[in-house]
Structure 1
């Protein structure tokens, strides 16, 4: 057992997700007992700054009573109802109206699900359905990006460019999912290449893929404004500016996956607004309810909704839906969450504290383990390297990212290692003082990892 309050009591019957289960069986798990603000406490009473907001989602922290009260009121009034068979309820109707008001561009219709995975899965289904109704049955392929993340269903894991989510799951499924390069300029930019030149190369790669496959076979392109599961990778200069005209020219829909970026993470309500994206479909979840209830939405344009109406005429119904999609308690919590964002000017708060967050992390560029730091708003990625001059990464077997994650945990900081990138997405309510403490603990974790990776011995020799 490690010396950081790990427990084995929960391993007998529960399968932990996105976990090294073999290591978990011998080492156990950290059991989180309670939370307050941006901190959580384990069952041993140790506190941690939760610099990942759980799974990118607890935007209002871990003790917002207004959300608990909103859930309780709705539980008393109507604890469950569905939106099937021309039935519905007021919280879902009001939330759809509010999302149409907030959406970037013209996306006035919402389908509700329980997770971001389901929201993206629904988007894929709607795209295929719509193209059948448009008389374009061959136009079905979906383009994602290497290291992109769009969910854990069969379809969305196929679309995601995450090898560990596909290996031995027989994914990607079928021949409908294509991938272009990961737009990580620091890691994949060529010597002497500017960010804009790199973006032009990425756009040319997309154009070449479309030419090779045939535009008549390609239905949509999915992208996160900031690539979350890839390591909190911000787009290089000009990337979306160059990508979008290509898609328009070839009648390829742009699906903006705002599951992580939506509701203030980038300093605007949507990452689309931060990066000048005009989507045909937008998916959102996570911060929609500040993670206090499971809920997601797929926002669609008028032409797509028109196709759904036509499909209902043809088939007698719209044959899609989830039992808990648009759950009244989740919708009530979402409405209260959006009200809090507005009343407390959370967008203004993110913009005010973002400089302290980004500058605090940028200071670690001088650390011997750190090659690059990039971010926007309150999302950032720190890339670890073995050699700063050449940008050479650590050998995968050394698990440098996981070591930094563990050392940060021991210092009372929860971050996420994605390969050798350390991701940060703290709750939006974080203060400048808490950011300073977050950075102090991160420095402790980096130093401890550097010593263990051999840095201390090399420094002494020098």
Structure 2
């Protein structure tokens, strides 16, 4: 591996991949790596090398590569919007397609503002998010989210119109003998207090990940959370924006993550990305419920516009990805293999002191570890490095308790993962955790 790189993102070269098929990457060294996190960030939900998808891409290129959405519509974006909205249980009425999760979440915030201006309530400028939370890398969503390590250098540029309430962390934060439902009610009460302090007439929206991803190392909501939150939002007529960039598109076991964890709650505005196009194209989406859709249309249409919005190639590929997921009943596999992954991890890591928690939804699983922030390199980074040496690709996050403390390994293999591959992921990760634990004992 080269020590230098022309890439801006890294000071030294990343391991160089020369090819990939399914859930395996082949490096220039000849080493084969099993992919337990869909390309590194829960994106590549169908694995690499899918010829059906490449055929659709080529066919669309030959038919029509590009049309600016403000001048010309295209059938692929229409078909994809219908596919998604028709499977939302009647909750979502319209969609637009962008390029990244950050862009989709930024657009969602702008959409909420446009809604309230159209409603004749321009005083609604304040956003309530959660801490810790992560919604993307643009300045708007860095403000709405709150992961200190990702925000600090940009702090002087961030919006002052954002506020934060605690993200749900039931296992660490519940009171003695407090049920999940009672804990959820307490967090909803904290949200209501925040709304009252800001002034309900000033609050534009509440922003939350359906299942928290990188900020907490995968954290599904406790029982009763979204119904309790929605009751407060409805009381003060505040929009609910759900971030399903990482947890949606089938990752949590249903097409939409709110169908898996929302307990009947439907967002007013929702963003999805990553698994939407399985990494074959850069694509994301913003979807809207009935009242937002109606208001925007009455106001003359959505003002947000980018050159590559509703890109026909991206939409054609994303539609094919979602059709394959549905045709091959892959969401059933997501649920079954996710249960297998959690069960086998819990069994294999029994007695390993540094393993604090294993949780998740579908093929979106987090392993929370106990390790001090003073450790250099951090514990999660050490385990990720060790798993790579052992032939496994995972995602490592630090600060997943309070933005500083907390170590987590995130897993999210492709929806096509087999029983045997799940067991191999468990074996390699457990082996790596044990080896890192042994190395730490030697250091001490």
Question: In 1, Cα distance between the equivalents of 2:282 and 2:67?
Answer: 15
Query: Does residue 435 of structure 2 align to residue 448 of structure 1?
Result: yes
Query: Does residue 193 of structure 2 align to residue 208 of structure 1?
Result: yes
Q: Is the 8 A contact 1:282 1:298 kept in 2?
A: yes
| 1:399 Cα offset (Å) | 0.9
TM-score of the superposed pair, with normalisation by structure 1: 0.89
Query: Does residue 27 of structure 2 align to residue 8 of structure 1?
Result: no
| 1:398 Cα offset (Å) | 5.5
Question: In 2, Cα distance between the equivalents of 1:116 and 1:252?
Answer: 23
Report what 1:3 is aligned to.
none
| 1:320 Cα offset (Å) | 2.2
**Higher mean displacement: 336-345 or 347-356:** 347-356
Deviations 1:349-407 (A, max 9, x none): 22232221111122224312201111121111111115xxxxxx554555111111111
Of residues 173, 180, 203, the one that matches 1:188 is 173
Q: Is the 8 A contact 1:104 1:278 kept in 2?
A: no
Report what 2:251 is aligned to.
265
Of residues 289, 314, 318, the one that matches 2:277 is 289
Unaligned runs of 5+ in 2: 399-406
Report what 2:404 is aligned to.
none
Deviations 1:286-332 (A, max 9, x none): 111111111111111232233323333xxxx7532111111111111
Report what 2:388 is aligned to.
409
Report what 1:222 is aligned to.
207
Report what 2:412 is aligned to.
425
The verdict on how the C-alpha distance between 1:375 and 1:88 changes in structure 2, with shifts beyond 3 A counting, is same
Of residues 287, 292, 300, the one that matches 2:288 is 300
Question: In 2, Cα distance between the equivalents of 1:182 and 1:196?
Answer: 15
The verdict on how the C-alpha distance between 1:47 and 1:346 changes in structure 2, with shifts beyond 3 A counting, is same
Deviations 1:404-433 (A, max 9, x none): 111111111111111101111111111110
Q: Is the 8 A contact 1:109 1:301 kept in 2?
A: yes
Query: Map of 1:64-83 to 2, 5 A cutoff?
Result: 64-83=50-69
Question: In 2, Cα distance between the equivalents of 1:265 and 1:307?
Answer: 31
**Higher mean displacement: 350-359 or 151-160:** 350-359
Q: Is the 8 A contact 1:59 1:287 kept in 2?
A: yes
Per the alignment, in what secondary structure is the counterpart of residue 166 of structure 1? Answer: helix
The verdict on how the C-alpha distance between 1:307 and 1:331 changes in structure 2, with shifts beyond 3 A counting, is same
**Higher mean displacement: 277-286 or 99-108:** 99-108
Question: In 1, Cα distance between the equivalents of 2:74 and 2:100?
Answer: 20
Question: In 2, Cα distance between the equivalents of 1:141 and 1:360?
Answer: 44
Question: In 2, Cα distance between the equivalents of 1:326 and 1:299?
Answer: 13
Unaligned runs of 5+ in 1: 1-5, 387-392
Number of matched pairs: 431
Per the alignment, in what secondary structure is the counterpart of residue 440 of structure 1? Answer: helix
Q: Is the 8 A contact 2:126 2:202 kept in 1?
A: yes
Per the alignment, in what secondary structure is the counterpart of residue 56 of structure 1? Answer: coil
The verdict on how the C-alpha distance between 1:201 and 1:171 changes in structure 2, with shifts beyond 3 A counting, is farther
Report what 1:319 is aligned to.
303
Question: In 2, Cα distance between the equivalents of 1:366 and 1:236?
Answer: 26
Query: Does residue 230 of structure 2 align to residue 256 of structure 1?
Result: no
Q: CA RMSD in A?
A: 1.8
Question: In 1, Cα distance between the equivalents of 2:63 and 2:358?
Answer: 48
Report what 2:401 is aligned to.
none
Question: In 2, Cα distance between the equivalents of 1:138 and 1:287?
Answer: 36
Deviations 1:142-169 (A, max 9, x none): 1111121211111011111111121121
| 1:241 Cα offset (Å) | 2.2
**Higher mean displacement: 197-206 or 73-82:** 197-206
Question: In 2, Cα distance between the equivalents of 1:161 and 1:365?
Answer: 33
Report what 1:139 is aligned to.
124
TM-score of the superposed pair, with normalisation by structure 2: 0.93
Report what 1:247 is aligned to.
233
| 1:457 Cα offset (Å) | 7.6
Per the alignment, in what secondary structure is the counterpart of residue 323 of structure 1? Answer: coil
Q: Is the 8 A contact 1:117 1:151 kept in 2?
A: yes
Question: In 2, Cα distance between the equivalents of 1:274 and 1:353?
Answer: 15
| 1:124 Cα offset (Å) | 0.6
Question: In 2, Cα distance between the equivalents of 1:365 and 1:195?
Answer: 24
Q: Is the 8 A contact 1:139 1:217 kept in 2?
A: yes
| 1:192 Cα offset (Å) | 4.3
Question: In 2, Cα distance between the equivalents of 1:103 and 1:187?
Answer: 33
The verdict on how the C-alpha distance between 1:279 and 1:319 changes in structure 2, with shifts beyond 3 A counting, is closer
Question: In 2, Cα distance between the equivalents of 1:449 and 1:83?
Answer: 51
| 1:105 Cα offset (Å) | 3.9
